[in-house]
Structure 1
Amino acid sequence: MIYSIIQPDDTWILWAILAGWAAVSIYLEQKYSWASKISGAIIALIGAMILANLNVIPTASPVYDTVWSYVVPLSIPLLLFRSNILKIWNESGRLLVMFLLGSIGTVAGAIIGFFLLKDIIPGLDKIAAMMTGSYIGGGVNFAAMSAKFEVPGEIVSATVVADNLLMAIYFLVLILIPTLSFFRKKYNTPYMDEMERGTNSNDNMASSYWNRKEVSLKDVALAVGTAFVIVAVSFKIAEVFDNLIPSGENVNFLLNVLNGIFGDNYLMLTTITMLVVTLFPRYFDNINGAQEIGTYLIYIFFVVIGVPASLPLIIQHAPLILVFVMIMVAINMLISFVLGKLFKFSLEEIILSSNANIGGPTTAAAMAISKGWSKLVGPILLVGTMGYIIGNYAGTAIGIWLSNL
């Protein structure tokens, strides 16, 4: 057990650090242009990694488990309150197509990486499931797949370390691409052209996007209360199906698949949320503040997944896992840019779709805001939240298939 200044059972101090650093990350993102360019999500991750590497905070604690068990499930419906499928298609159909093309790259990368490295990385089928969910949806899908497939803690920790490092590098690459003349010449850039005609590129627009909105006590009550109800109902329905549909080594493949679909908490949660939001759009459209509350909860989760494993564990596992996730990201990027060019998508649409695949809607929206592509902020948030739904299904399918090979 590695010594840390703050002990794992210092509950209130750890919660203060998690919630406080999430708040600081959001503040920095909206206050300073440099922070806006790298996004508050990356600041949250890097800050937690520094604190853990300096042995200020422990690498494992019941507090972190609480975030995975309660904060993440609550954030999912809050972030999906705008995930009306009809609205996503009507307002963001073009961006959604590009996002789905990138998702094909994620799945292809997981399969190729698995067959290349399965003999040298233990539990790669589980890692592939986690990363497929994560690189289509986001951190919430990573948490969902790790819980579903009961991935050992040391593998989760090593994968988080590799993923965090690669995400930080890839986001920096995506931020750099619009400044390179090669890409500006090869791809259409309508949003950048418009922005450059009337906007100072050095402005920080995160603050103007997440500006003060009219949010009443009723909004907060309905947002949080509805989220609790959806989580409770979804998890209970999943529990009923899990008990009704047999699963295990001695059960046929079809029943295992059905149990995995209907008996999984996170799949049921995303499905129920999607259904009620689509069936009752007026109710959810009239609730202000849900996106803000859900985003803040996800920032707390960003802090938690930024806590790395111990150095010996990183040396033992993370380098090879880093190679695997590099293959996934490289193929996602390759397919996104090739198919994006083939189907005449703009450079901004390709970059944000790939960003939404790898990092989720929050980081993609943060990049759109920081780059001044204001017309794409809403659509990429809508499309990215769709990734939360797709990611759980894709991750489940990949995990079940590869585990049976």
Structure 2
Amino acid sequence: MTGNDAVLALVVATALGFDFTNGFHDTGNAMATSIVTEALRPRVAVAVSAVLNLVGAFLSTAVAATIANGLVDSGVVTLTVVFAGLAGSILWNLTTWYLGIPSSSSHALIGGVVGATMAAAGASAVKWQGLVSKVIVPATLSPFIAGTVAAVGIYLVHRLTRDVPDGPRGHGFRLGQVGSASMVSLAHGTNDAQKTMGVITLALIANGSLHSGAKSPTWVIASCAVAIALGTYVGGWRVIRTLGKGLVEIDSAQGMASESASAAVILCSTDFGYSLSTTHVATGSILGTGVGKKGAVVRWRTARRMAVAWLFTLPASALVGAAAYWAAHGIGGTIGVVVIFVVLVLGAVAFFVASRHRAVTPENVNAAWTGSVIPAPETSKAS
């Protein structure tokens, strides 16, 4: 095996590692409300989500093409650049997961790659128009669009079912949540799994294994689908608790409305090749149901903390990606990549060990939300 082959192998392994963290980080986007309303048991919910993420990853490659060819100049990207970008995104993912903050895995990945590319070849190597139109604008608008759709949806649902007795009404909405949550999981697979496909494809182009503009090979699609499905099954219980209990005291009708809105927005964005943050969409949808339901409790302090994390995700992961590139490049060659890889693995282990002391599990994810990971919430009544 040559030095380039060894680096390529590490890049692919790191990319699949990111896909795994993406899976457990974003499980809450699809299943938090269904778990909290007890429409699905926690382990069943993440198993269903895992299978549908796997299926969704095979349905489209438009987002993968955006990541591989639409954000940075593939002609100046090297394997070290791709690896450094992945390192930045994984470290940001682990940090926000540990804190229970539903930040965007997608933007962490994009920020890491952009930061590493700028460190290697300067700002001119970034396709700023593509970054703005395919990433930043959708990131800004998607929570508001999803929130509006969810708010209108929950208002209409309550108007149409106000005369239905509580028992049959609640049972019907919990059954509806099974379908709506499943659609979010399928949509998540069509959008988020493709980002890692795009990064691996970018690495293959940089290595000369594929020509510029090439589509993701079948083995890349399959391996990314499996990695995100496994991560989903592990379940990010900290993030699930924050989304399910930290924003709005949610009922089954709100859960179905928020999930339906999320699925619709994500699937539309996938069709246009937008690298959307499913976290932004899910959060906007949940907040929308709080605003749209009269008397609902909305925890705006938690929402503000999440918004701050979103603002920092792109620049923070870009800085870490740039630092990882400078470190690997400074050490030089394959050895530099190996050293950063070891540091990355040790960092991941440290986060995992620290998380065991304050674990959120399938058994306690539905316990009363006390703000043990995020400070006690500030609540208000939606008008």
Shorter-chain TM-score range = under 0.3
Q: TM-score, normalised by structure 1?
A: 0.24
